[in-house]
Chain A
């Protein structure tokens, strides 16, 4: 499935990241295999994909941590060879631990702030603000190495945001973070994109992916599907359905089938697949059910479907 639509439809200066045919090999292993992907400015773009599909490798290549073996990429309007010029506008939260365990929370944040030239009162204010956002003010004098997994993750996010970057690369930022703070994070992310920032995020949590404007599904180093969460489900061949409980299952099923609907009997109910929810009215008129339930497929199903394609034949 092609992603070229996006490239053609939107002018490239609206793209925070525009990559074409990226190739990266580690020895025999082709980790990026013709990856073409565009991330429009001001959006939250979620990269999904099985473990080892190359998500982290792609993110690392954006900040110049990986020397690509092929392809072209522009980041914030610069070719990748000149990414150092705009590196201070990028915030990169690594998938694995990257802070100093023998420094306190405050010291870690001070260090990263000074790397970006943030000093004095401004630095103090920024640290206070972010520690409040990640709910760690009470722990600022503790050593980062003593934090719990989720707390560490929160600190790591705070350090990544310290310089208010235009492009945020978040590699599984919410691993181990409790649901309440995850909600806080996502609200904060929304406020950032409202302010014009672009977020590229990877996650294995489908409820988070549902919140993103664009979802890209990566597999074996290429982009297999891309679009809004709903579009991804359609691309995976998933349709909404309506589950009906009727008095005469057999007759109703025949009636619906003759009107062109795909019907499956499941126990004492009928599942009728819809092209869109507009069809629901027609179905209800025909079937006159005792009870009903609308079923929207989940991204998780889509993920499973997409990852099964090509497996075993």
Chain B
């Protein structure tokens, strides 16, 4: 017996009863099971081929700290490079390390720093030439070599998409399940039973996690073995991140279900909850390139942290300790969602 708020004793038996029930229901729903396991594979294959090959073109970061308008205009006028405006030199450094930028130029009053990816000398040379050509008068160039790895688009996108897929399906299936508890009247029946609301949410978590594990393992296998995305860190750590994200998605789905009256209305959450995460959490393009003004939005989206953590684990071999800040953020999402979901369930009753 573990004691949970409300002064109630949570019984493991009851949590297990809910979990078993949820598993039985989902298992019977062949189509959803198929959707949960095969759609991620399908999506990965789709993305994989669409994004195969090296990153198209050369990507250059530009950090402007003022005082070099002439050079800046020159760089921006060149068509050979994709230019990404970044906020700080350290952002640029990190992106080069991750292989997502081929180089970066930091413009400051009286100095110009050129960061180069040491692993591709040809690009480095052409970068230096570009900057030299744009300089007005003599100015010392500070050249820094950073060793990033040769990254394919899929390497960067794969880990993030893994999180996206798990979040999307868990959120939707959870929202629909909790909605059904209300619309089919079963909520009414077990509010009048010894089952407490936290027990119910925990039961759902347990039941769903079985499917989340299946889903993340299949997706991971496809990402790593079919698309050759590296897995330098521990797969268990990656799985833990995904499970935590799934748990957050579940409680968020449970909470949001209170604002829907029909399953059709649940579908309307997709543009509200899912799409911002697709756009603003660094799945497709680096977070650092998102305008400052909407960055705070990114920081309140769980996928931001899961993408960061998964990339760190898979591409840089980060250990659990190194991704603690992300784990902490995801846990916070889960805790707030859990509380909100439980309280909302309570308020539902007249």
Contact = CB atoms under 8 A, between A and B. Distances in A.
A92 B192 contact: yes
Given A98-B188, A100-B21, A107-B24, 4 more contacts: A88-B193, A102-B25, A115-B194, A119-B13
Given A87-B194, A114-B13, A115-B194, A100 B8 contact: no
Contacts of A67: 349-350
A66 interface: yes
Interface in A78-118: 84, 87-88, 90, 92, 94, 96-103, 107, 111-112, 114-117
B28 interface: yes
A100 B25 contact: yes
19 contacts: A26-B350, A64-B191, A64-B192, A64-B349, A65-B349, A65-B350, A66-B349, A94-B189, A96-B188, A98-B188, A100-B21, A100-B25, A102-B29, A107-B21, A111-B17, A114-B17, A116-B194, A117-B13, A117-B194
B258 to A, nearest CB: 16
Interface of B: 8, 11, 13-14, 16-17, 20-21, 24-25, 28-29, 184-186, 188-195, 349-350
B14 A65 contact: no
A112 B192 contact: no
Contacts, number: 77
A65 B188 contact: yes
Interface in A101-146: 101-103, 107, 111-112, 114-117, 119
A98 B183 CA distance: 9
Contact of B184 (A66, A87, A88, A101): A101
Contacts of B188: 60, 65, 94, 96, 98
B191 A94 contact: no
Given A96-B185, A114-B13, A87 B193 contact: yes
A292 interface: no
- Most chain A C-beta atoms within 10 Å of own C-beta, residue among B16, B28, B188, B195: B188
A269 interface: no
A84 B29 CA distance: 34
- Most chain A C-beta atoms within 10 Å of own C-beta, residue among B8, B25, B186: B186
Interface of B is mostly: helix
A100 B193 CA distance: 15
Contacts of B191: 63-65
B184 A115 contact: no
Contacts of A60: 188, 350
Contacts of B29: 102
Contacts of A111: 17, 20-21
Contacts of A115: 14, 17, 190, 193-195
B46 to A, nearest CB: 31
B21 A87 contact: no
Nearest to B29: A102
A97 B350 contact: no
Nearest to B6: A84
A68 to B, nearest CB: 10
A96 B29 CA distance: 24
Contacts of B190: 115
B38 to A, nearest CB: 21
Given A60-B350, A92-B189, A103-B25, A97 B184 contact: yes
B238 to A, nearest CB: 33
Nearest to A97: B185
Contact of A98 (B16, B185, B350): B185
Contact of B192 (A90, A103, A107): A90
A100 B350 contact: no
A97 B187 CA distance: 11
Q: 7 smallest A-B Cβ distances: which pairs?
A: A114-B17, A98-B185, A63-B192, A98-B189, A92-B192, A88-B194, A111-B21
A102 B26 CA distance: 9
Nearest to A59: B192
Nearest to A65: B349
Interface in A144-162: none
A65 B24 CA distance: 27
Contacts of B14: 114-115, 117
B11 A117 contact: yes
Contacts of B185: 94, 96-98
